[in-house]
Structure 1
């Protein structure tokens, strides 16, 4: 039997990789881009049948009343995070930003946002459970019909999302984005949290124990102006994008900071003023 030269082996490996990528795309299309179905096909364990949607005992800390910003510790369980990451990873695509062109908003790649993202559509027990939890937290102002599809975002080394606001892009029905949750599903990095340069958190009047507790959640001291929320797995930050008059609030300007090494995986949960 003839032996392959080193160059031939490289060729065989390259062809194998391309065939695998093509086969994955074919399977995703055949199963309507449902990665859960693919996971079942390949024998990986799923939570689809055994998952029970339960309310975790998360801690609520009000960071600011105006604008309303709240930190939610342990908002997403480790089991939920693992499932969402498994669900979203095969669907990751380069993230887009939206800008006006000829009066219309259109998505495009930008150096301002170098992460990857994936939309997590149901029906899926964990996706549905997290959406319901976010809806209940908001009460009457956050019905499920007003919520967007969950979006998972992945940040590798040096990947970031520059300062931006979540409002300013109307839905097809003309509704503004009223609130945001940003949850941390995975954080294998330091100083890679979410930065609000116009949000001041004054810890000057807090005692040593309270200050130590807050400093688990935010960078203190920080080299940046405003407030930097640490990337803590399972935690989430919630804020209102609009003021009491329904106008976009400039003070919730924020940025997704880049990992120097490792990775960060987050979850966007957006709610609009109305359905559609």
Structure 2
């Protein structure tokens, strides 16, 4: 479901940044952080983000505030590593919890970015490759495609990819899901059924959805657990915790035990960042 987004020309962006365009410096920072149109270079990306801030681009100032430590510096090596995961399932399915995956300030920042993009959530339509509205899914979602990406989101995506041991180029566009009271995502799987001919072209181009990661952006709600058929597992993270699971087995076949559901909150509003991970970058 990753729609192709045109990559801005880095040469043009660099010229504009050198001429004093803070927004251009920021876009170039995003491309450099993601390795799009230029080799991935985190130190260069952060330098460009600082340049954008110095040129008065307010979103760059906010991102630097989120990423800087108490000493005023950005320790990118720490940002790109995460606490160790803890297995949750006992029946063989690879379902892992990662406590303290993201700081609270990043969770709040991601939600601020997502709030203005929220719309009714869609399910995958194999006939079109796009999304469609279905009764099985009543929650809302915000999707960050390339025009909405920033350096903080790029850091989060890289951290997820490294934790899962999968290439960041294989990540689909990140989404933030919002569940109001009574809203849910009924029982489903994230992997694409290789026996269904409708998925053949998607699987050929982008490979299987090997893993899924959820990061809990808040915890001031009741209910709203993530439920799995495996072991009858019900899990609810605290703010900043992550839930990571493998949709496939070591031999590459899909793992039916990962059928799951987003249960409805009984009070409050649940917000999670949702990330699907493929095993490689898309083919043309």
TM-score, normalised via structure 2 length: 0.66
Question: Is the 2:223–2:267 Cα contact (8 Å) retained in structure 1?
Answer: no
Contact 1:91 1:118 in 2 (8 A): yes
Separation in 1, partners of 2:151, 2:245: 25
2:220 corresponds to which residue? 188
CA shift at 1:106, angstroms?
4.6
How far did 1:82 drift? 0.7
Superposition pairs of residues 1-276 of structure 1, within 5 angstroms? 47-50=62-65, 51=67, 52=74, 53=76, 54-55=78-79, 58-64=83-89, 66-101=92-127, 105-121=129-145, 123-139=149-165, 142-168=166-192, 170=202, 173-196=205-228, 198-200=229-231, 226-276=232-282
CA distance, structure 2, for counterparts of residue 62 and residue 44 of structure 1: 37
- RMSD of equivalent CA atoms: 2.8
Q: Is the contact made by 2:219 and 2:239 (CA closer than 8 Å) also made in structure 1?
A: yes
Give the structure with the higher percent helix. 2
The answer to whether the 8 A contact 1:121-1:127 is kept is no
Q: Distance in 1 between matches of 2:172 and 2:132?
A: 20
* Greater Cα radius of gyration, structure 1 or 2: 1
Alpha-carbon distance in 1 for matches of 2:161, 2:271: 22
Question: Deviations along 1:219-267, whole A, 9 cap, x unmatched?
Answer: xxxxxxx010014211111111011221221100000011112100001
CA separation in 2, counterparts of 1:158 and 1:257?
Answer: 8
Cα distance in structure 1, aligned partners of 2:244 and 2:60: 32
Change (3 A) 1:143 1:227: same
CA contact (8 A) 1:152 1:267 kept: yes
Quote the Cα distance in structure 2 between the aligned partners of 1:158 and 1:172: 37
Aligned 8 A contact 1:179 1:239 in 2: yes
Per-residue Cα deviation, 1:82-124 (whole angstroms, up to 9, x for no partner): 11001111011110012445xx555211111111111124541
User: Alignment length, in residue pairs?
Assistant: 210
Aligned-partner Cα distance in 2 for 1:46–1:82: 16
Quick one: distance in 2 between partners of 1:61 and 1:46? 35
| Gap regions ≥5 residues in structure 1 | 1-31, 201-225
1:115-155: per-residue Cα shift (whole Å, max 9, x none)?
1111124541210111111122123xx11111111111111
Secondary structure (helix, strand or coil) at the match of 2:85 reads strand
Query: Quick one: distance in 2 between partners of 1:60 and 1:273?
Result: 20
Contact 2:191/2:210 (8 A) holds in 1? yes
8 A contact 2:95–2:246 mirrored in 1 = yes
SS at match of 1:49: helix
Displacement of 1:187: 2.6
TM-superposed CA distance for 1:191, in Å, is 1.9
Change (3 A) 1:44 1:177: closer
Deviation >6 Å, runs of 4+ = none
TM-score when scaled to structure 1? 0.68
Q: Is the 8 A contact 2:82 2:163 kept in 1?
A: no
